[in-house]
Amino acid sequence: MTLKVAVLPTSNTYLEKALHSAGAAVTSLDDAQALIWTGSDQTGFPRDLPSNIQWVQLKSAGVRPWIESGRIDSQRTWTSAVGAYSADVAEHAVALLLGCLRQFTLHARADSWLKEQTWGTVRSLRGRTVAIVGAGSIGRSMIPLLTAHGAKVIAINRSGRKVDGAERTVTSRELDEALAAADDAVLGGASTDETQRLIGAEQLAALGTDPRDGSPGVLVNIARGDLVDTEALTDALRRRIIGGAGLDVFDPEPLPSQDPLWGMDNVLITPHVANPRNRMLDNFASLVAENVQRFASGKTLRAEIDLNRSY
């Protein structure tokens, strides 16, 4: 039987082709079994979903605002886009890390030749140990990129279940020890009550230094801005407690134009663009097609939202 889906608020060529290839038929909300929500937030989302909607697919990987608003109910299946964008976001994370280690933060702002002043502070990723905090789909995509550059990985997750490719995996209870053992850290976890301000002054101080030269580590955040205490991060950067930061997400977001992070020569800032738009549309369409086929055949959907875990 053909699965009937509603697509709101707008569709696109990527999605239309994917739905057609998956054998779905696009129809009105009142006639559909599933809703594919293509909005980036809750603006315009139907106030009351009709009872015929059995499954809702969201375009967002982060769903904390949806859960906090009470929008996600237990009457139907809800899925996020977790995992759909991982490869592209992982690529961006490694680019930010490399940029900070290679002092792009300083040289991109320079208006004179700084070789003698900075040559001694340029770092290679080769031989460094990177802690991935929240080693989910993005973290797992990041590991082969890091190891290809000669880095080692400590994976940190809730369960401590082994992550393939990591030199070792530890639980979130061992966060501070893992940061102390690492040279650099990348944040890849979800925004939940437990992860709010996960990285504060103590964790930034714990981020290890290179035993070969004592250089402080780099923090990269491509997850969610509220995983970091922004005030503590700003202070750690100003005092050179950490060597640099590569940031694609912020708290608050957008980052205010007068924020001191903008003017720091040890910070790389990108405006939440780790997931390029054309790749996002294509990757989301692929996820939708797979979940349409899974739903039609009665299989478990990818990225089902667990209200108890808040993601």
Cβ-Cβ contacts under 8 Å for 178 (sequence gap 6 or more):
131, 133, 154, 156, 170
**Active-site annotation holder among 197, 272, 279, 302:** 272
Cα–Cα distance for residue pair 80/255, rounded to 1 Å: 25
Rounded to whole angstroms, the Cα distance separating 292 from 302 reads 10
Q: Out of 16, 253, 304, 309, which one is annotated catalytic?
A: 253
Helices 277-296/86-101 angle, 10° precision: 150
Contacts of 187 by beta carbon, 8 Å cutoff, 6+ apart: 133, 134, 198, 199, 219, 220, 221, 222, 223, 227, 228
The one-character DSSP state at 256 is P
Q: Is residue 143 within 8 Å of residue 91, measured between CB atoms? A: no
Burial class (CB in 10 A: 0-12, 13-18, 19+), 47: exposed
CB-CB contact of 225 with 251 (8 Å): yes
CB atoms within 10 A of CB 233: 25
Whether residue 272 lies in the annotated active site: yes
Provide the β-strand partners of residue 171: 157
**Rounded to whole angstroms, how far apart are CA atoms 72 and 56?**
9
The length of the chain, given as a count of residues: 311
Phi/psi at 46 (5° precision): -55, 135
Active centre residues (catalytic): 224, 253, 272
